[in-house]
Amino acid sequence: MEDTSLKSGMLEILLVFSEMDRLQKVSHLIESHYNRHINTTVFHNLLEAIEHLEISKKPYSLIVFEHLSASQSIVRTLVEMGGSSAFILCGRSLDVIRGLKDTEVPIEFVSIDTMFEEIPKVVNRFEVTGKIPMLDEAESDYISIRPDYLPSMGPLEATVYTQLIDGHYVPVFGKGDSVERKQVEEYLQGKKLTHFYFKREDCKELLYQKSQDLKSIIEEKPLDRARAEEAVSASLEMVRDVVGQMGFSPEAQKVAINSVSATIKLMGSKPRLSGILLELKNKDGNYLTAHSLMLGKVACAMAYKIGWTSRTTYFKLTLASFLHDIALNDGKLAVVNSIEKAAGSGEFSADELKEIRLHATKAADYARSMSEVPSDVEHIVLQHHERPDGTGFPRGLPFRLFTPLSALFVIAQDLIDYSQIHKDAEVSLETFFEARETVYSSGIFKKIFQSLRTDSALV
C-alpha cells in the first residue's frame, strides 16, 4: 500500500490499481484534466482500499479502481464503504456493475484496454452532471442569476443579492418581496449590472418552487398562454445559470421536464409551422433561451407535418432543444456553425473555441444523466452541429450515422437560421427548400426533406 497526498489539490481521489505504471498514468490523466495537483490516495488491491475506507471514514469525491474478475461482491462492498463517492470501474466485463446501474450510485464502467482514453471522458461527465465538483475556480457561496425571471416569481422565495466592487454581497430584494419588471430594469440600469445573486444553499428550494409553479400551470384549465410562455422562458434561464455553476441536479432536471410539458401543452397536438415562423419573426429576449424555445416548436411542427405525431416524439425534440446549448453562456457562441470558420475569424478566444467545440458533448452528458429519458435525446443533442456531408462537429459524422430525429432537428435548426437571415422579408419556405435541396440529398435527410417539401405551406 502506498499513500500519496498532493497538498495543493481541492479534490480527494482514491485510485486502486495493481500495477504502478497504471496508477501513475491515471493520476496524471486526472491532474491534466484539472490542470492542477489533486489530493490522491493510492492502493494496489481492493481489500486494502476497503479496509482504509472502513477505518478512516475519509470522504472521496472520486474512486477509480481496477477489477478484472467477474466477482460482484467485492465491488458492492467498495461502493458501500465509499459512501457518496462517484466510481469508475476499469475491468473486462460490464456485467460486474449491472446491478448497480439501476441504483442511484454514480458508477461507470470502462474497458481496461481503453481506460486511458475513456477515463477523462467519464470524469467530464461526472463534472457536468454534478456528481463530482468542478474545480475551474473556487466555489462561491452565491450563484449568479440573470434577472429575467424575477418578476415571474411572485413573492420571492429567497433573498436576492448584488455584488459590490470589493467582492462583498449585499441584499437587494428580501424574501417575500414582490418585484415588478420595471423595478428590476431600473435597478439594473442605475447600477449598470447584468446579474443578481442567490445564496447557493437557497437554489434547491428555488428550483423546487419553480418546478411546482410549472406543474400548476400545466394543470390549468383554460391555459393562461402568456403566463405559461413567461414561466417556461424564466425557468430555462434559471436552469441554465444553475447548471453551469452547480451541475445538473435532480431539482434542475425536474424543472427542465416540467418546462417541456408546459411547452407541449402550449403547442397542442397539431403544431403548425406557419404560425410558429410568424412568432419567430417577432421573438426577442435572451438569444439562447428564445432560440431553444423556438427550435423545439419548429422541430415538433416539422415532425407533425411528416406524420411523427406522438407525444413521445414531441417530448424528445422539445427536451433536446432545451438542452442542446445549455453548456453555453454567451449567445454569440451559439450561432457558430463551423469551428474552422470561427477559429479563422479571430473573433473568439481559445477558451471560447473550446467551449463551442465541447458544448454538444457536455449537453449530451446532461441528457444521459437524466432518469427515464430516452437515449434519442442524447443523440439529438450530440449531433445537432453535425452536417450530412461530414463537415460538422464535434465528430464530423456522415449522413448515414444520423438518427432520424437528429436529422429532422438539424433541418429545423437550419430553417430557423434561414428565417433569421431573411427576417426583414416574408419567410419563403419554397426558397428555403430550393436553397437546401443539394444539402439534404442523401439518406434520411433526403427522405425527411422530401416529405416536408410535399406541401411548402406547412400549415
Residue 412 belongs to a domain: yes
Residue 220 belongs to a domain: no
406 CB-contact burial (10 Å; exposed 0-12 / middle 13-18 / buried 19+): buried
Phi, psi values for residue 321, rounded to 5°:
-65, -35
Q: What is residue 223's three-state secondary structure?
A: coil
pLDDT tens digit sequence for 330-373:
888 988 988 889 988 989 888 888 889 889 988 998 998 887 78
The C-alpha angle with vertex 154 and arms to 151 and 156, in degrees rounded to 5, equals 90
- Calculate Rg over the CA atoms of the chain: 24
Quick one: pLDDT band at residue 53, thresholds 50, 70, 90?
very high
Q: What is residue 307's three-state secondary structure?
A: coil
What does pLDDT average to over the chain?
85
The whole-angstrom separation of Cα 31 and Cα 4 is: 14
Residues whose CB falls within 8 Å of the CB of residue 364, separated by 6 or more in sequence, listed in order: 378, 379, 381, 382
Residue 185 belongs to a domain: no
Phi, psi values for residue 68, rounded to 5°:
-100, -10
The whole-angstrom separation of Cα 344 and Cα 436 is: 25
* pLDDT at res. 256: 95
* pLDDT at res. 125: 82
On the question of pLDDT at 1 being above 80, the answer is no
Pick the most confident of 91-100, 244-253, 396-405.
396-405
How many residues in total does the chain contain?
459
Mean of the pLDDT values across residues 125-142?
70
On the question of pLDDT at 58 being above 80, the answer is yes
Residue that wins the pLDDT comparison between 459 and 49: 49
Q: Please, are residues 449 and 440 in contact by the beta-carbon 8 Å criterion?
A: yes
pLDDT > 70: percent of the chain: 89
Residue 400 belongs to a domain: yes
On the question of pLDDT at 22 being above 80, the answer is yes
Mean of the pLDDT values across residues 310-314?
96
Q: Please, are residues 182 and 218 in contact by the beta-carbon 8 Å criterion?
A: no
Residue 459 belongs to a domain: no
* pLDDT at res. 457: 45
The whole-angstrom separation of Cα 75 and Cα 228 is: 47
Residue 239 belongs to a domain: no
Q: What's the CATH code of the domain at 389?
A: 1.10.3210.10
pLDDT tens digit sequence for 64-117:
999 999 888 999 999 999 988 999 999 998 988 887 866 778 899 999 999 999
Residue where one domain finishes, among candidates 79, 105, 128: 128
Residue where one domain finishes, among candidates 128, 155, 188: 128
Phi, psi values for residue 99, rounded to 5°:
-65, -25
* pLDDT at res. 6: 30
The alpha carbon dihedral of 104, 72, 122, 87 has a sign of positive
CA atoms within 13 A on the CB side of 285: 22
Q: What's the CATH code of the domain at 88?
A: 3.40.50.2300
Residue 152 belongs to a domain: no
Residue where one domain finishes, among candidates 62, 97, 128: 128
Q: Where in the sequence is the domain holding 43, given as residue range(s)?
A: 12-128
Picking from 34, 24, 32, 29, the residue whose alpha carbon sits closest to that of residue 2 is 24
Task: Tell me how crowded residue 456 is: count the other CB atoms within 10 A of its CB.
Answer: 14
Task: Tell me how crowded residue 149 is: count the other CB atoms within 10 A of its CB.
Answer: 21
Predicted TM-score (pTM) of this structure: 0.70
Residue 309 belongs to a domain: yes
On the question of pLDDT at 248 being above 90, the answer is no
User: How many domains does the chain contain in total?
Assistant: 2
* pLDDT at res. 15: 95
Q: Please, are residues 207 and 251 in contact by the beta-carbon 8 Å criterion?
A: yes
The whole-angstrom separation of Cα 43 and Cα 243 is: 34
Quick one: pLDDT band at residue 35, thresholds 50, 70, 90?
low
Quick one: pLDDT band at residue 4, thresholds 50, 70, 90?
very low
92 CB-contact burial (10 Å; exposed 0-12 / middle 13-18 / buried 19+): middle
* pLDDT at res. 314: 97
